[in-house]
């Protein structure tokens, strides 16, 4: 005789919980939705395999974007790194490549990200702190010295100044003699999430969007292997939002970029295949797997139904994943190795194309070489020893995982439609909608930790007194002065007339719709600096003012 889930809940389960109360009155997902104790066929009653999943490499790509997934090759192991100056960072990259890392990921310092040279007053105290300081082509040449730019792909976390850093990378590749048709990599180039959560904006939205579409258009012809944008949920998740909000806010941003590109006269399938995505991976293991799978299904629908895409490449969510920085604890830092391992495992089970695993000491400082090595080894152990990469999308068909994938997708669509009602991502930002939603979720999580509804091992339970902090990485405090000297020497040595001419051209183009990229390449080749270019554009375009939401 067959019994329904409801009958089981009322009889066998009901009897058991009346004697032994569950650990918590309510179990929930990151968005606060209640999770049942058990999932079964009834939870997938309307579910259709071909419609919901299909096959890897085929629409709607739920099971993965490549037909062979990790049987062909493992994901790209790409550790985000960069600190001090170009020379130090170049050394770290060569170390990582020697340890078996397969792609580079460059972290820039805040002055570089916000368009200030290392010797500007705004940069004081910040030079080389959270990433590498790059002000000119000289720095970029040092950064990429001895790294074959045709063979190694590089991801650059750079947004407001992305077109300039891309121009620098291209100029350095040309000097190496690389064929630009073969130079691959990614720039983040996602300004909307800077306004929402990450904070390294410079210009107001309109000129910022214009720079982004200039990059799309220019790369299509000049740099065909380049991912022109990495539309990122990561930072919004780190700022506190839920898994479903992460998807929705990111896709809403994606829609804004696509619409801007269409308005600039591009066709979706021309640039759609060069759009990349960037997700966080937090600690709810199965919900995160479900999120990754749902993300592919959502974008496939947006690409085909909203934009009429005919090219499967333009319908795929190809994504990078980074484990959750905000889930790391300063207390008992070695526990972070375990957290990161679990998160990395969900990213792999979710079918990521590349992965950064955080180092255990990152709630305390920038990582040491030792901690970075452990983080990279974590990926290698998962890839080569655990067996999870041998079969494609191995959790498919789990009642719970499929029900959860459907739910995350439904919650994300609901948010997408709310943002649509506000007039799209940008108008939402201007009204503070996404920012407030993120703050609410962050505050809710904080409260749950303080009331112990949520246990964070080593933080609000299983606490150790008098912990000894591990050895931490320190950036040399003399760096700021050294950078000032380097830049002064460069400014004295270069052809300053050529610099002035290049800046005049950029100023003139700022108020037109001319593509900025060729002008930026020309400028950086004359050793015009990031700060000089941004200085001119700041004068022409003004600066974005934060929308206060608290």
Partner 1 sequence: MADERPIRVLIAKPGLDGHDRGAKVVARALRDAGMEVIYTGIRQTPQMIAEAALQEDAQVVGLSILSGAHLELFPRVVEELKTRGVDDVLLFAGGIIPKADIPAIEAMGFKGVFGPGTDTNAIIAFVRDNAPQRV
Binding site for partner 1 (CB under 8 A): 110-111, 113-114, 122, 124-126, 129-130, 194, 197-200, 238-240, 326, 328-331, 363-366, 439, 442-443, 446, 449-450, 456, 459-460, 469, 472, 475, 546, 548, 550
Least Å distance, CB 22 to partner 1, is: 26
Size of the chain, expressed as the number of residues it contains:
550
* Residue 188: CB minimum distance to partner 1, A: 14
- What is the sign, positive or negative, of the torsion defined by CA atoms of 139, 144, 146, 148? negative
Nearer to partner 1, 52 or 356 (CB): 356
Residue 359 CB, shortest distance to partner 1, in Å, is 13
Q: How far is the CB of 443 from partner 1 (least distance, A)?
A: 6
CB of 454 to partner 1, least distance (A): 12
Residue 116 vs 319, nearer CB to partner 1: 116
C-alpha dihedral sign at 84, 89, 95, 97: positive
Nearest-CA neighbor of 161 among 545, 538, 434, 539?
538
Give me the residue label for tokens 């007194």.
465
CB of 270 to partner 1, least distance (A): 32
What is the distance of C-alpha 500 from the center of its chain?
Answer: 36
Closer of 345 and 456 to partner 1 (Cβ): 456
Asked if residue 169 lies in contact with residue 211, where contact means CB atoms within 8 angstroms, the answer is no
- Residue 495: helix, strand or coil by DSSP? coil
Closer CB to partner 1, residue 317 or residue 429? 429
- What DSSP designation does 77 have? E
Residue with Cβ nearer partner 1 (154 or 371) = 371
Nearer to partner 1 among residue 142 and residue 327 (C-beta) = 327
CB of 244 to partner 1, least distance (A): 19
Minimum Å gap between C-beta 431 and partner 1 is 16
Measured distance CA(248)–CA(229) in Å, rounded: 17
CA atoms of 471 and 369, how far apart (whole Å) = 11
- Whichever of 41 and 125 has its CB closer to partner 1, that residue is 125
- Sign of the Cα pseudo-torsion (529, 532, 536, 542, in order): positive
Stated as kind and residue range, the H or E segment containing 342 is helix 335-349
Label each residue of 373-387 as H, E or C: HHHHHHHHHHHHHCC
Tokens of 533: 């270019």
Burial (CB < 10 A; 0-12, 13-18, 19+), residue 434, is buried
Nearer residue to partner 1 within complex by CB, 422 or 459: 459
Asked whether the beta carbons of 519 and 509 are under 8 A apart, the reply is: yes
Least distance CB 193 / partner 1 (angstroms): 10
Q: How many CA atoms lie within 13 A of 346 on its CB side?
A: 25
Question: Cα separation of 373 and 195, whole Å?
Answer: 33
Residue with Cβ nearer partner 1 (119 or 402): 119
């Amino acid at each position: 005789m067959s019994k329904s889930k409801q009958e089981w809940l009322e009889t066998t389960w009901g009897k058991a919980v009346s004697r032994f109360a569950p650990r918590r009155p309510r179990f929930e997902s990151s968005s606060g939705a209640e999770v049942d104790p058990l999932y079964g066929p009834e939870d997938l009653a309307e579910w259709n395999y071909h419609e919901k999943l299909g096959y890897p490499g085929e629409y709607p790509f739920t099971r993965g974007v490549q037909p062979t997934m990790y049987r062909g090759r493992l994901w790209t192991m790409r550790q985000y790194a960069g600190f001090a100056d170009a020379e130090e960072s170049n050394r770290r990259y060569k170390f990582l490549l020697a340890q078996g890392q397969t792609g580079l990921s460059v972290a820039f310092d805040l002055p570089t990200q916000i368009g200030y040279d290392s010797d500007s007053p705004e940069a004081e105290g910040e030079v080389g702190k959270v990433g590498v300081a790059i002000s000119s082509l000289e720095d970029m040449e040092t950064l990429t010295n001895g790294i074959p730019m045709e063979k190694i792909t590089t991801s650059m976390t750079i947004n407001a100044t992305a077109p300039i850093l891309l121009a620098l990378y291209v100029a350095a590749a040309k000097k190496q003699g690389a064929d630009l048709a073969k130079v691959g990599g990614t720039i983040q180039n996602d300004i909307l999430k800077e306004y929402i959560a990450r904070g390294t904006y410079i210009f107001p939205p309109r000129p910022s969007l214009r720079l982004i579409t200039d990059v799309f258009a220019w790369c299509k012809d000049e740099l065909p292997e380049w991912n022109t944008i990495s539309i990122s949920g990561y930072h919004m998740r780190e700022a506190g939002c839920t898994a479903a909000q992460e998807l929705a806010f990111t896709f809403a941003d994606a829609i804004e970029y696509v619409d801007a590109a269409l308005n600039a006269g591009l066709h979706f399938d021309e640039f759609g295949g060069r759009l990349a995505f960037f997700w966080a991976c937090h600690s709810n293991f199965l919900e995160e797997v479900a999120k990754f799978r749902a993300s592919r299904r959502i974008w496939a629908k947006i690409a085909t139904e909203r934009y009429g895409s005919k090219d499967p490449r333009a319908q795929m969510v190809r994504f990078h994943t980074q484990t959750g920085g905000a889930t790391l604890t300063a207390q008992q830092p070695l526990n972070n190795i375990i957290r990161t391992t679990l998160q990395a495992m969900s990213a792999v089970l979710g079918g990521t194309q590349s992965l950064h695993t955080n180092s255990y000491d990152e709630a305390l400082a920038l990582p040491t070489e030792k901690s970075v090595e452990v983080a990279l080894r974590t990926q290698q152990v998962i890839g080569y020893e655990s067996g999870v990469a041998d079969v494609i999308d191995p959790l498919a068909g789990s009642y719970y995982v499929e029900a959860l994938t459907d739910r995350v997708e439904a919650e994300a669509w609901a948010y997408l439609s709310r943002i649509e009602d506000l007039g799209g991502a940008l108008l939402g930002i201007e009204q503070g909608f996404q920012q407030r939603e993120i703050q609410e979720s962050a505050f809710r999580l904080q409260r749950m930790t303080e009331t112990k509804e949520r246990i964070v091992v080593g933080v609000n339970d299983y606490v150790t007194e008098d912990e000894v902090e591990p050895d931490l990485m320190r950036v040399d405090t003399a760096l700021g002065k050294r950078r000032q000297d380097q830049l002064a020497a460069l400014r004295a040595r270069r052809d300053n007339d050529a610099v002035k001419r290049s800046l005049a051209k950029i100023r003139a183009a700022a108020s037109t719709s001319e593509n900025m990229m060729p002008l930026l390449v020309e400028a950086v080749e004359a050793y015009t600096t990031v700060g000089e270019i941004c200085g001119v554009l700041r004068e022409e375009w003004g600066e974005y003012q934060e929308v206060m939401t608290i």
